[in-house]
Structure 1
Amino acid sequence: MRNALAMSLLAIFLGGCASDPASRDISGVWINQAAIDEAAKGGNLREALLANGPNLEWSIDSQTAKANYTNGFEWVEGKLMPEKDGVWQVSFYGGTSTDLSISGNQLIQAASDDDPRQSFMRSGVNLASDAPLGTHFEHALKSAYLGGQWRVVSGKGQGNQVTFLADGQVKGLPDANAYALCLAGDCASMSGEYDSLWLQQDEVGAAHIFVRKGPQLEIFQALDSAKPDEMPQLYPGKREWLLEKQL
């Protein structure tokens, strides 16, 4: 009887601790895995991000009461405060705020006037602790969207094996040893309905338009229809490469 009572009291104690928001530490880096999974299907990258965004990564430190996020363009800093029932409030400059909570293995960002409800997963990417905000998401996205081996079907270097690395290096693509995917911001405004990426060889680089259709990746020259005093408006010109993923 005494043992049963002790077990009951222990269960009550543990249950009380679990319900305390302060005991459910949400510290760490959380990435928008839903956007990555959608992009990995091999379609339009920007559409996948917009459908599951806009926020791509949270970096949270409950010890310093900091919670920062990025949408691929902005870095937004917030102050983290625990509320009741396992909810944390993040307050931003200007008086706006959002609520975060844990549901299973997901971080849930509640719907607000500014953003829809979103879910995030703890990052499994192994990076330095001082990696810039958004780097975990970009590494995971690049691995899922462009990972594996590609072959140049047509274009310069036909027959080459091409590898896009998660850290932004590219191997086997002529005249390029680095790349960056356009996720949001000015590059997205300039490319409009098209996906774009930056290809660079050492210190020289240029924007390109690309089209991903399953195992095929077409990369085009980026032409500009804007006037000299206007923001560039890029559209696809000559196709430079057709790559095919090796399945």
Structure 2
Amino acid sequence: MRRLLAVLITTGLLSGCASPVQDPAGTWINQAAIDAAVEGGNLREALLAYGPNLEWQIDSQRQLASFSNGFERGEGNLTQAQDGRYRVHFYGDYQEWLSLSKAELIQAQSDTWPEQRFTRAAAISTPPPPGSSFEHALYSAYLGGTWLIKEGLGEGGLVLFQPDGTLQGMPGAERYALCLAGDCAAMSGEFDSIWLQLGEQGQTWLFEREGEQMRIFEALNRAQIDEMPDYSKGQQRWLLERK
């Protein structure tokens, strides 16, 4: 009898070790959107297909959860339900439900969003600004590597898009930002857009990325002076090719 009891206790301990309680704390990014953008080339289509939320940050100790969609940030109170799911309650009395499945954080389908899946970002000692983990991962995958200027100003030179938004080798620019959502997306419509900046001055450009090539075009504003800009594709200014 004693032997049987010992076996049962040991089995219980082992099963407990095999199924630890998962903690959702940390930063989670929409890796599916990044993968789709890299594979298909069109950034806006990928974000619309797998978004709109791009990142979750969860602070279990403070019972807070926040999301970023590339334009706005929402923060709510985090509580765990009896079934193991996590409820995020936002100001204005609406809520989202999160759950853990293996290595994924799943945001359940709701009246506001479709189901979305997120993977945990690498942990760092200081929590990054909301949305920056997704941006860094996107910039690395989508624009990482060395690009050759095949056509345009600086032809023959090499360009590096760094994950932190700095830019090397691009004539007339030292920083860049991809448009993910919000006003910049509304202004560029069906086109992907990129902001190129030198010092305090910058402007919007439209681009098309296909495989290892990226074409950058002037953004022509079709709107009146008192209206929100409405950009269309103008003259091609650069053709870049990833080496």
TM-score (norm 1): 0.93
Partner of 2:8: 8
Q: CA deviation at 1:235?
A: 1.1
Q: Distance in 2 between matches of 1:127 and 1:241?
A: 37
Check conservation: 1:153, 1:243, Cα contact below 8 A.
yes
Q: CA deviation at 1:85?
A: 2.5
Q: Distance in 1 between matches of 2:224 and 2:166?
A: 33
Q: Which runs of 4+ in 1 moved over 3 A?
A: 1-4, 10-20
Inter-CA distance 165–62: structure 2 relative to 1 (3 Å threshold): same
**Identical positions, percent:** 53
Check conservation: 1:69, 1:133, Cα contact below 8 A.
yes
Gaps of 5+ in 1: none
Inter-CA distance 12–175: structure 2 relative to 1 (3 Å threshold): same
Q: Distance in 1 between matches of 2:144 and 2:7?
A: 51
Note the alpha carbon deviations across 1:12-53, whole angstroms, 9 max, x for none: 466568879xx3210000000100111111511000111000
Inter-CA distance 47–172: structure 2 relative to 1 (3 Å threshold): same
Q: CA deviation at 1:127?
A: 5.4
Partner of 1:123: 121
Q: Distance in 1 between matches of 2:125 and 2:193?
A: 28
Check conservation: 1:19, 1:85, Cα contact below 8 A.
no
- Within the candidate set 155, 159, 163, 1:162 is matched to 159
Gaps of 5+ in 2: none
Note the alpha carbon deviations across 1:75-111, whole angstroms, 9 max, x for none: 0011000112221111111111111111010001111
Q: Match of 1:9, as an amino acid?
A: I
Partner of 1:183: 180
Aligned Cα root-mean-square deviation (Å): 1.8
- Within the candidate set 194, 197, 201, 1:197 is matched to 194
Inter-CA distance 174–42: structure 2 relative to 1 (3 Å threshold): farther
TM-score (norm 2): 0.94
